[in-house]
Amino acid sequence: MLWPTGRRNLQLFLSVSDVFKVGIGPSSSHTVGPMVAASRFIKNLNKPSILNEVERIQISLHGSLAFTGKGHGSDHAIILGLLGESPETLDPDSKDKTIKRIQKYKCFKIGKTQKINFDPLKDIIFDYEKDLPGHANAMVFYAFDKHETTLIEKTYYSIGGGFIVNADELENMRNQKEATDNVIVPFPFKNASEMLAMGKSSGLSIAEMKHANELTSCNQDTLESNLDKLWTVMNDCINKGMRTEGTLPGGLKVQRRAKSISEKLVNDQSNEKFAHTVMDWISVYALAVNEENAAGGKIVTAPTNGAAGIVPAVMRYYLDFCPSADNKGIHDFFLVASTIGGLIKYNASISGAEVGCQGEVGSASAMAAAGLVAVLGGSNEQIENAAEIALEHHLGMTCDPIGGLVQVPCIERNAFGAVKAINAASLALKGDGTHIVPLDSAIETMRQTGKDMLTKYKETSQGGLAVNVTEC
């Protein structure tokens, strides 16, 4: 089958490694994003003509970043980013020591010589009054000289999944003039309808089309290596979560449960086995990941940290309970799931601060459902149907974390999102792909619902469970 050639990418081209990124908990938008923004600011600052004049740095956080930034560790992430740390390479076990050092000495160095005054308690400002127009997750970085004159001022928006853009980049995205519009891919679909049409005309599966698109930016060996790395981090996170016990940080005194539940499942010697035991394992996998995320451990954004447990839980279900499972299936799962995640991000949002938890858990559940159908032999139409079912039944879900922590209700929501994904996949596989609600309509409905949703229900901890449950 010949591929279409010479077609400019109409979709915001998101590779698998864009949708799935190795990072640290507890939040992709509030932890990973600020770390990336801080690192980006320092790189812009690190020019002799500017750097020699810098005396002090200050950062102000706005919108959702202000209201829930402390609970998400945004201030700590900024400190690490200013020191040049990357979410992908950071050792989670070393970060507390580094942060305490900066808090003690109230300064850091850029390069080997340039000392910058920086007191985190004074120079990281949580501005609860001023919202910035671009996005609910906004932060402004300032560099001052010895006379307190502003040398540089940079505004960044954390738009979900660890993605960081400045004001110009955000405007270009919204005008569909993305920075990557010079990328040529063989299958440039920008919505699910075009995806299905291209699949039908080419005779290729969604995984095959996505694979072809990926090879425009890397070779086969690199792609496979990246996919294997992603699964290794995911699986290690599941396993670590299932062997770790204790209380999660933050003050809510939430007890880890994945270890005790998994031990009960393993030790159950009764003759009577229930079908829901499989669901118990799926829930444990998801709980394990999100407990690790809440503890600030290494995870994979999928597509966000708050929803990071759903895709790996369903992938682990595929490996543990589906006889046909193999490594190629894992690769195809990633390819298809990232395709659906890219469509949702491009046409709506994956940011809880922008559209509520429907954009995080709902998107992740749709991605996982689509990936599972693909690796179980479903058609393109069945894949699209599964994604739609999963997304449809998360519409309207608010983001209301108690105490601004990614713990309650976030951890359990991942377990339910994973089970819903498998249910959606099962329903889709038992049909022929024909259904009433197109995936594109569900995505647009999510966008509209998020636009209409009150701000207090969008990751500000000013509504819902966050105000109706007393913190312990």
Structural domain boundaries enclosing 268: 188-468
Q: In this structure, are 156 and 245 located in the same domain?
A: no
Q: In this structure, are 111 and 219 located in the same domain?
A: no
DSSP 304-351: -STTTTHHHHHHHHHHHH-TT--HHHHHHHHHHHHHHHHHHHHHS---
Sorting pLDDT into bands at 50, 70 and 90, what band is 45? Answer: confident
Sorting pLDDT into bands at 50, 70 and 90, what band is 9? Answer: very low
* CA 225 to the chain's CA centroid: 21
Q: How far is CA 25 from CA 270, 289, 404, 417, 460, in A?
A: 37, 10, 13, 19, 18
Residue where a domain stops, chosen among 149, 174, 199:
174
Dist. CA 215–CA 221, nearest whole Å: 10
Assigned token pair, 134: 């671009």
Residue 19 lies in a domain: no
Dist. CA 336–CA 375, nearest whole Å: 9
The pLDDT mean for the chain works out to 93
Helix (H) or strand (E) holding 21: strand 21-24
Assigned token pair, 424: 């959606």
Dist. CA 233–CA 292, nearest whole Å: 12
CA nearest to 353, candidates 121, 107, 66 = 66
Q: In this structure, are 194 and 139 located in the same domain?
A: no
Tell me the pLDDT tens digit for each residue of 123-179: 999 999 999 999 999 999 999 999 999 999 999 999 999 999 998 898 887 776 444
Q: Which sign, positive or negative, has the C-alpha torsion 357, 360, 365, 367?
A: positive
Residue 98 lies in a domain: yes
CA nearest to 40, candidates 101, 85, 107, 70 = 85
Q: In this structure, are 396 and 255 located in the same domain?
A: yes
CATH code where residue 138 lies: 3.30.1330.90
Tell me the pLDDT tens digit for each residue of 368-397: 999 999 999 999 999 999 999 999 999 999
CA nearest to 211, candidates 345, 369, 302, 334 = 334
Q: Is residue 68 a contact partner of residue 404, using CB atoms and an 8 Å limit?
A: yes
Q: What is the pTM of this model?
A: 0.93
Helix (H) or strand (E) holding 139: strand 137-144
Tell me the pLDDT tens digit for each residue of 416-462: 999 999 999 999 999 999 999 999 999 999 999 999 999 999 999 99
Sorting pLDDT into bands at 50, 70 and 90, what band is 48? Answer: confident
Total number of domains constituting the chain:
2
